[in-house]
Chain A
Amino acid sequence: MAQRHMTTIVSLTLLALVLLAWEFLPPALDVPRFIIPTLSDCLAEFQRMWAFEGLWTHIVSTALYTALGFAIGSLLGAVLGYLLGMSAFWEKVLSPYILALQIAPKVAFAPLFIMWFGYNSIPKLLVTVLIVFFPVLVNVLQAMRTVDRDLINLARAYNLSRLGIFWKIEMPSTVPNLMAGLRIASTLAVIGVTVGELVGGNTGLGFLISYGGGQANAAMVFNAIILLTVIGFVLYSALVRIEERVLHYLPKAHG
């Protein structure tokens, strides 16, 4: 308990130090505010954005598409992962293509999607879905390959059907990996949406980054980046919470 108190205190002290350095170091070093705006510059810009740039709408839009893209992408990834995990044949057939697509830089598809679907929300959603899809797919597939053979034999000996084995053995065995995949995917989802908004469109925090950049408004860019981080952080923390509840049966390393 004392240990935990200690980490919190040190952590908060560190934050305070960083904020102080941010506020006072750039002016002290004569760094102009269009290069590195100070904390108070950013706060002032935040108020301005809130009042005159419709910041709230941008935040909501980005958060919504992050969540939506994450949900669709991880659902597709998990479903395909489980389907391929049940069929050694199709897994072998498709694995080189999956590998190729996994290596391909997904964000680079954004301009293509804009050419195909126009300046609307479909391209950023697609990029997000695509980028979220693979870590979930790969984690699930990997876990399906390594399910304990003896557990499956036990289930067979108890006359479970193929579907029964899936629901009662394979699915629960793979949940830890699925959750790990979802955690990675949640951090990537923010990147997907941001790139989609950067490249095309006129809403979202990604758009504010390119807009602010065009106006040499570094404080606006700073604020947008911070807000994007917050969105990603919220999604990630929610997943960690869910994971703790779902995986309650795993022994905990720290008491």
Chain B
Amino acid sequence: MALEFRSVTKRFPTNSGEELTAVQDVNFRVEQGEFVSAVGPSGCGKSTILSMTAGLYQPTEGEVLVSGEPVKGPNTHVGFMLQKDLLLPWRNIISNIEFGLESRGVGKEQRRARAMQELKHCHLEGFDQQYPYQLSGGMRQRAALARTLAIDPEIILLDEPFSALDAQTKLLLQNSFAKTIAEAGKTTLLITHDLAEAVLMSDRILVLSERPGTVIADIKVDLPHRDEPIKRRTLPEVADYAAQLFKLLKLEEKAA
């Protein structure tokens, strides 16, 4: 098992003095090599779950375990990616990809070699000397993935990495991410608003309730082609899964 949340509750102090409970009693496990998505209403604590996994802050109650060890702070097991690519604009693409390796005592030449390898994996050959502003949004996200993969994390955390992209770029990028991640055999937790995306990319989907967020359903996606969302997309069952999520999130009632 790669990632486990054990009765995790997170409360934030607020300006009014009262505490805000972002997530309450969250329990789930992600197995080695699994691709799990988390969907839920806005503000239900999805990003909070991600930040706790990355060790950016601690749960108020409960435990977060990565590879069986409690997460005590930022650590080398986890790599994360957000909607914003967070590329450093003053660095060219290759040294952006190297960024995560610099604080890990990896020698200069080794860093470059490693980064070049990931550049290829993410289909950015020839763009190593470009600066982020010279790349399209989709290419920047691929560069961010390359940077995440370069540190060879055990778990990859993705917080809506495709949500700022147009529909076509999104589909192509989902496909390329799915392939790259499957090839690398990485355990992945994807946070998304896009129900179809969750169905197309995951082995399992966690459905979270309104704030305070808690896991209300854990759905196994029993479909082939996890590494090729474009193929999976053509399967008729995809619509059924999406409908099921739709119902669980009570979207109809909310629209009424």
Contact = CB atoms under 8 A, between A and B. Distances in A.
Interface of A: 148, 150-151, 153-154, 156-161, 164, 168-169, 172, 175, 249-251
Contact of A157 (B55, B102, B104): B55
Nearest to A251: B133
Q: What secondary structure prevails in chain A residues at the interface with B? A: helix
Contacts of A161: 103
A150 B86 CA distance: 7
Given A159-B76, A249-B131, 4 more contacts: A159-B104, A168-B99, A249-B89, A249-B90
A158 B74 contact: yes
A172 B56 contact: no
Interface of B: 51, 54-56, 74-76, 78-80, 82, 84, 86, 88-91, 99-100, 102-104, 131-133, 151
Contact of A156 (B74, B76, B90, B102): B74
Given A249-B131, A249-B133, A251-B133, A158 B86 contact: no
A250 B54 CA distance: 30
B91 to A, nearest CB: 8
Contacts of B56: 153, 156-157
A222 B132 CA distance: 49
B103 A169 contact: no
A150 B82 contact: yes
9 contacts: A153-B54, A158-B74, A158-B99, A168-B102, A172-B88, A249-B89, A249-B131, A249-B133, A250-B89
Contact of A151 (B75, B80, B88, B131): B88
A249 B133 CA distance: 7
A169 B74 contact: no
Contacts of A151: 86, 88
B54 A157 contact: yes
Contacts of B103: 158-161, 164
Nearest to B133: A251
A152 to B, nearest CB: 10
Nearest to A156: B74
Nearest to A161: B103
B88 A157 contact: no
Nearest to B83: A150
Nearest to B157: A157
